[in-house]
Chain A
Amino acid sequence: MNAPASVSRGAGKGWLAAHRWLILRRLSQLTVLALFVSGPWFGLWIAKGNLASSLTLGVLPLTDPYLFLQSLAAGFLPGASALLGAAIVVAFYAAFGGRLYCAWVCPVNPLTDAAAWLRRRLGLKSGRAPAAATRYWVLAGSLLAAALSGTLVWEWVNPVSIVQRSLIFGLSGSLAVVLALFAYDLLVASRGWCGHLCPMGAFYGLLGQASLVRVSAAARGRCDDCLDCFAVCPEPQVIRPALKRAGQDSPLILDRDCTACGRCIDVCDKDVFRFTHRFDQRSDS
């Protein structure tokens, strides 16, 4: 986006109101990690395992369906517990919003958000982002590679897995991955990882195509074209159809790439956006 880096973002409504969803999101991301590390750190066991597969309070199994799928592609049918866990996760994200995972759970998100923030602040325009559809090819490629090699190839390099596992299990050696990811997003491609390459985001996006939780540009009549939402949105291409009626009349952001992070709601001085469900077609214009 070529929007000028606005310094008075959301200033009209006070700092707290302009950061509400951001704070809630950071709390959500921290809570997820805290549920996992409270056991090893304080002996308070809530969730065991990590985001790949876990057991919460000894009863609730959860398994990442993308990992499940890779395992299937590699020619192994995971056991009943993993199957049930994957089914629960699939049901949740399909119903509520695929990329809620990206914005509210994934621990890579704060990292790439920080890189994007710094890039905006420094006014960096360097580098070139790959096509946004590259992630679907990486997704297909990771499954194909698993099928051809009979092992979870992508999990050797998957930064999302590496980062969440390293945080939860206190593993060393992943600092290089974190730095590389940060440098890539900062210097080479704006929103490069989460917005263009990550096959996990692509997977969850596909999963949540018909999900309920949506952002609506319900008060789009109030939009004064300040471009703050485009500047802050991790997937700016999703806003236009809803806000500017480009190819659709509905005020709902229905693109599967929307992560439902709520930053557009935060930064908009005119309170154009709000969270709602996919059947809410109310609009002021």
Chain B
Amino acid sequence: MARKPTAQPPETAGASPASAARRKFLNGIAAAAGGGVLLTAASWLAVRPASANPALALRPPGALGEAAFLSACVRCGLCVRDCPYDTLKLAPQGDGVAPGTPFFTARDVPCEMCDDIPCVKACPTGALNPKLTDIQQAEMGLAVLSDHESCLNFLGLRCDVCYRVCPVIDKAITLEKLHNPRSDRHALLLPTVHSEHCTGCGKCEKACVLPEAAIKVMPVKLARGALPEHYRKGWEEKEKHGGSLIGEQLELPVRGLEDKAYGDVRVAAPPLDAPSAPSGMNSRWQP
């Protein structure tokens, strides 16, 4: 500190030998230092488990990565005050989220993705990055269809609610048509999230009709996997290159099925409504 800590009361210095006074002074310093270090160390230990785990709460648009965010956010709540939909809340004590930091729970109130992003404008420190000016570029989280067993579309129904409410419909969520092998004559339209376009606003999770949402928005770090860096997708490389990189492939029939449309790729498939198609069994579904 700039100055010596508060001077010892003169009566102790005067009444006792100098060495005793010095010892008392040093003891005082040691006690203060020990207490201070103990207090801060204890608080740090208390914090570590909370900051080590990725927070399950979703951060406002433009929030820096969790580690940087926790060094930048002063917990003032200005973003909360300027959120016109009361989406954002400040975390209370002992809730898993760093206390006093802003978050939202998609299932309660999702982000309405305001065009002018008032929460980012309100942030005095830059914990919500002012460079975010297009809300479509926000990465508050990533929607994950986490429960394939309960999702009504996976069961073969046409719920589609998550797809319909998505503000980035047909980009962030698409319906992928697949054969329904259970009935063998219907389609499954599977809601599929595309991380490139999903902003993590949470409208899908909010709108999911199930008692417990089958699609949930999670922090990106928790939701996303990653391919090894050296992986290349053949079909993308092929398109970039303007053709196969390894030349035309030799195509051979399956042994014993030569000249049959379902075994020999050299034979053109008969039209779908061909009367010869076995009824009810072969819907020509290809995985």
- Is the Cβ of A141 less than 8 Å from the Cβ of B10? no
User: Chain B residues with Cβ under 8 A from A209's Cβ?
Assistant: 2-3
Does B95 reach chain A (CB closer than 8 Å)? yes
Contact A78 B31 (CB under 8 A): no
| Cβ–Cβ contact A141 & B78, under 8 A | no
Could you tell me if A155 and B93 are in contact, using CB atoms closer than 8 angstroms?
no
Q: Which of A131-139, A211-219, A266-274 sits within the interface?
A: A131-139
Query: Given the interface contacts A55-B78, A165-B77, A165-B100, does A174 sit within 8 Å of B125 by beta carbon?
Result: no
Using an 8 Å CB-CB cutoff, how does the interface string of A30-69 with B read, 1 for contact, 0 for none?
0000000001100000001110111100000101100110
Q: How far is the CA of A263 from the CA of B73 in the complex (A)?
A: 36
Given known A-B contacts A134-B32, A149-B47, A173-B92, A64 and B74 have beta carbons under 8 A apart: yes
**Measured between C-beta atoms, what is the minimum distance from B89 to chain A in Å?**
9
Cα-based distance from A49 to B78 in the complex (angstroms): 4
The answer, yes or no, to whether B257 is at the interface (CB within 8 Å) is: no
Query: Is the pair B1, A206 in contact by a Cβ cutoff of 8 Å?
Result: yes
Known: A131-B35, A133-B6, A153-B43. A71 touches B75 (CB 8 A): no
Give B86-130 as 1s and 0s: 1 = Cβ < 8 Å from A's Cβ atoms.
000010111100111000000000000000000000111110001
* Contacting pair A53 B125 (CB below 8 A): yes
B122 vs chain A, min Cβ distance (A): 8
B169 touches A (CB below 8 Å): no
Contact of B67 with A136 in the complex, beta carbons under 8 Å: no
> What distance in Å separates the Cβ of A102 from its nearest Cβ neighbour in chain B?
16
Contact A165 B90 (CB under 8 A): yes
Complex contact B78–A136 (CB within 8 A): no
Q: Does A142 lie within 8 Å of B40, measured CB to CB?
A: yes
* Cβ of B168 under 8 Å from chain A: no
Q: Residue B144 at the A interface, CB < 8 A?
A: no
Q: Is there an interface contact between B76 and A50, defined as CB atoms closer than 8 Å?
A: yes
Alpha-carbon distance A76/B125, docked complex (angstroms): 9
Please determine whether A138 and B124 come into contact, CB atoms closer than 8 angstroms. no
Interchain CB contact (< 8 A) of A172 among B28, B78, B81, B92: B92
| CA of A82 to CA of B76, assembled, Å | 11
Chain A residues, Cβ within 8 Å of B68: 76
Could you say which residues of chain A place their CB within 8 Å of the CB of B125?
53, 63, 71, 76, 78-79, 81-82
With A162-B93, A169-B90: A63-B1 Cβ-Cβ less than 8 Å: no
**Chain B interface residue count: which class?**
35 or more
Is there a chain A Cβ closer than 8 Å to B82's Cβ?
A: yes
* Complex alpha-carbon distance, A171 and B43, angstroms: 21
Contact mask for chain A residues 78-107; partner B; CB cutoff 8 A; 1 contact, 0 none: 110110010000000000000000000000
Give the docked Cα–Cα distance between A142 and B98 (Å).
Answer: 16
**B residues in contact with A111, CB < 8 Å:** none
Q: How far is the CB of A227 from chain B (nearest CB, A)?
A: 15
B10 engages A68 (CB within 8 Å): no
B31 & A130 in contact (Cβ 8 Å cutoff): yes
Contact: B37 with A156, CB < 8 Å?
no
* Complex interface: chain B residues within 8 A of A71 (CB): 71-72, 74, 125
A232 at the interface (CB under 8 A from B): no
> In the complex where A63-B74, A130-B35 touch, is A85 in contact with B124 (Cβ < 8 A)?
yes
Contact B98 A156, beta carbon cutoff 8 Å: yes
Q: Does A261 contact B (CB under 8 A)?
A: no
Task: Judge whether B76 and A152 touch: CB under 8 Å.
Answer: no
* B93 contacts across to A, CB distance below 8 A: 162, 166, 171, 173-174, 176-177
Q: Is the CB of A149 within 8 A of B51?
A: yes
Residues in B with CB closer than 8 Å to A153 are 40, 43-44, 47
Known contacts A134-B32, A142-B40, A206-B1: A54-B46 contact under CB 8 Å? no
Bound complex: CA of A152 vs CA of B50, how far in Å?
12
- B36 and A134 within 8 A (CB): yes
A156 and B100 CA atoms in complex are apart in Å by 8
Q: Which 5 A-B pairs have the closest CB atoms?
A: A137-B36, A141-B40, A53-B76, A133-B5, A74-B71
23 A–B pairs (Cβ distance < 8 Å), ordered by A: A49-B78, A50-B77, A55-B122, A71-B71, A74-B70, A78-B74, A78-B124, A81-B124, A130-B31, A131-B28, A134-B39, A136-B32, A149-B48, A151-B70, A156-B47, A156-B99, A157-B46, A165-B75, A165-B90, A171-B92, A173-B93, A174-B93, A246-B10
**Given pairs A133-B29, A134-B32, 12 additional interface contacts (CB within 8 A):** A49-B124, A52-B100, A137-B37, A138-B39, A140-B1, A141-B41, A149-B51, A155-B98, A157-B43, A168-B77, A169-B80, A209-B2
Residues of chain B having any CB pair with chain A under 8 Å: 1-3, 5-7, 9-10, 28-29, 31-33, 35-37, 39-41, 43-44, 46-48, 50-51, 67-68, 70-78, 80-82, 90, 92-95, 98-100, 122-126, 130
A residues with a Cβ closer than 8 A to B are 39-40, 48-50, 52-55, 61, 63-64, 67-68, 71, 74-76, 78-79, 81-82, 85, 130-142, 144-146, 149-157, 161-162, 165-166, 168-169, 171-174, 176-177, 197, 206, 209, 237, 246-247, 255-257
